[in-house]
Structure 1
Amino acid sequence: MEKVIDIEERIPSMRKKRRKKTNRKFIFILLTFVMVLLVLLYFQSQASKIDVVKMNGAVLHDKEFYLQQAQIIPGDSLWGFNTTEAAERLQDVEGVQQASITRKWFRDVDITIQEWTPIAWIDQKGQYALILENGDLFVPDSEPVVDIPIVNGFEEDDTRKLLASQLLELDDSVYQLVSEIQEPEDADSDQIILYMDDGFEVHASLGTLAEKLSYYAEIVDQLEGSEKGVIDVEVGTYFTPYSKLYGNQEDTAKEDATREDGTQEEGDTSESEDE
């Protein structure tokens, strides 16, 4: 015989289940409301505003310029911009190779700029521009603090790009010694002249510059104690002292002074005779 359950006996348990279900719905709605309220309060408060923007790698342009291009301004909403789109805008800036933007902590933004490295200054009819590592020219708004050689000539794009690639291959210790680079006036020649900070003058072929100057330290060590002069590494390695190329400057100066004195004395003698 089947057991008959009185509905009145089940009412308390049904009420209890219904109450729990209602309480869960109420708690869910309450938590949702609180979360929405907190989010609204967060976006309205200073806690959601950009506080600090850290800029890494900026040399060619200043920080303010990059912030304007990225459309990121301290005090604006931390979530009011798309990091990928802002980074793409920075990559369109002249001289920029890559850029990345990340949000840090609660209110900070970290921007990393990878620029094409400037490797030399070039004189263009009195206006100086930078030769970047990819061979492009860049005219900065203000002079960046970079200790790099000065280049004269190299107006052709291909020649300038070849020079850039050769300078990039130089050992840093040798590159730091290069003060000035001169392109020959003869367009058919690939000889270049480098004036070094240690007093030597280097004559080299542009296409083999990095290869030949890889031995520069050893060459200079062998010349220790000698007078300064020209190191020719175009074909083989040859050294010629300045005195042999240009004569003894001190003797030349003395001869010039003697000639000046002799001329003056002759002038005085003529004046005495006139008297």
Structure 2
Amino acid sequence: MEKKKIVSIEDRIPKLKQARKKKANRRLLFYLSIFFILISIIVYLQSPLSHIRTIHVKGNTFLSDESVIKQSNLTNNQNIWTIDKKASEKALEENPIIASAKVNRKLPWTVSIIIKEYERVGYLQQGTNYFPILGNGTALQSMKQTSYNGDAPLIIGFNKEEYLHRMTKELEQLPKAIRKLISEVHWTPTKENQNKITLYMNDGFLVDASIQNFAENMKIYPSIVTQLDDDSKGIIHIGAGAYFESFNKK
């Protein structure tokens, strides 16, 4: 039989003391680390290190970065942790050009503003001037043009704001590929139908339609045109039904 080695209590006491000392040192180091981290956080929050240094703006086409930042009420002197993101977003969305806004923190000192502007659906003609007009009916007076470049439909004759807003809303819902085919949209109301409109298309056709459900009804336009002869010219009537009326009555 092997003899078991017997360790006396005198030999164990120094080892126990050393183990307890190591454990106490580790605990002290842990608490000191927590203490210094908390101190660092307090110093960061109270110092200019936590102030906004950079504000990035994305998604703007019609508005400048400076005007977006100004309307958000954010400044470089603000603490990044005290900004009211919801209040800034609400302030931005009061702008008739902005459809939605999102404000995000990007540590340590950057804020990003992401906006979505209403889409430009055409140009409003007033005399010899042309103003880009958005899907909510807002005409951008500050972006006046004296010439028309044809990159969006001309909107003509809408002297009642109610019908202008309805028309721009329908144009916004219309697929871009079809909207690009439109050269001019004229409001041509009659006593019986105040929603009547006439469209001049880039491919030479005229379209007789109504503001009501225009975006939905106009989706069939490309398929109608493909069924016509290449030399056919006339009026395409789109409404409850659809039919083609040739300029050549014969």
TM-score by length of 2: 0.70
* Residue 233 (1) aligns with residue 234 (2): no
| Alpha-carbon distance, 1:239 to partner | 3.0
The structure in which a higher percent of residues are helix is 1
**Separation (CA, whole Å) in 1 of partners of 2:221 and 2:33:** 77
Distance 1:233 1:37, change over 3 A: closer
Q: Which amino acid aligns with 1:158?
A: E
Query: Is the contact between residue 70 and residue 87 of structure 1 (CA under 8 Å) also seen in structure 2?
Result: yes
Counterpart of 1:141 in structure 2 is: 142
Distance 1:60 1:182, change over 3 A: same
**Separation (CA, whole Å) in 2 of partners of 1:91 and 1:175:** 26
Distance 1:228 1:146, change over 3 A: closer
Distance 1:34 1:170, change over 3 A: closer
**Separation (CA, whole Å) in 2 of partners of 1:215 and 1:72:** 47
Query: Is the contact between residue 129 and residue 137 of structure 1 (CA under 8 Å) also seen in structure 2?
Result: no
- Partner residue of 1:113 out of 112, 115, 118: 115
1:58-97 matched pairs, under 5 angstroms: 58-73=60-75, 77-97=79-99
Name stretches of at least 5 consecutive residues in structure 2 with no aligned partner: 1-19
Q: Which amino acid aligns with 2:186?
A: Q
Query: Is the contact between residue 154 and residue 185 of structure 2 (CA under 8 Å) also seen in structure 1?
Result: yes
What are the superposed Cα offsets for residues 187-215 of structure 1, whole Å, 9 maximum, x if unpaired?
65443111112222222233353344222
* Residue 209 (1) aligns with residue 214 (2): yes
1:167-186 matched pairs, under 5 angstroms: 167-184=171-188, 186=190
Distance 1:87 1:185, change over 3 A: closer
Counterpart of 1:198 in structure 2 is: 203
Counterpart of 1:35 in structure 2 is: 38
What are the superposed Cα offsets for residues 2-34 of structure 1, whole Å, 9 maximum, x if unpaired?
xxxxxxxxxxxxxxx9xx99x978974785356
3-state DSSP of counterpart to 1:226: coil
The percent of aligned pairs where both chains have the same amino acid is 23
Query: Is the contact between residue 207 and residue 236 of structure 2 (CA under 8 Å) also seen in structure 1?
Result: yes
Alignment length (residue pairs): 228
Single out whichever of 33-42 and 94-103 deviates more from structure 2.
33-42
| Alpha-carbon distance, 1:179 to partner | 1.7
**Separation (CA, whole Å) in 1 of partners of 2:96 and 2:220:** 36
* Residue 164 (1) aligns with residue 168 (2): yes
| Alpha-carbon distance, 1:76 to partner | 5.5
Query: Is the contact between residue 51 and residue 74 of structure 1 (CA under 8 Å) also seen in structure 2?
Result: yes
**Separation (CA, whole Å) in 1 of partners of 2:126 and 2:41:** 60
Counterpart of 2:159 in structure 1 is: 155
| Alpha-carbon distance, 1:222 to partner | 2.0
| Alpha-carbon distance, 1:42 to partner | 6.8
| Alpha-carbon distance, 1:127 to partner | 5.0
Counterpart of 1:57 in structure 2 is: 59
Q: Which amino acid aligns with 1:69?
A: Q
Query: Is the contact between residue 150 and residue 181 of structure 1 (CA under 8 Å) also seen in structure 2?
Result: yes
Q: Which one has a bigger Cα radius of gyration?
A: 1
Distance 1:69 1:162, change over 3 A: closer
**Separation (CA, whole Å) in 2 of partners of 1:184 and 1:54:** 45
Name stretches of at least 5 consecutive residues in structure 1 with no aligned partner: 1-16, 246-275
TM-score by length of 1: 0.64
**Separation (CA, whole Å) in 2 of partners of 1:74 and 1:35:** 25
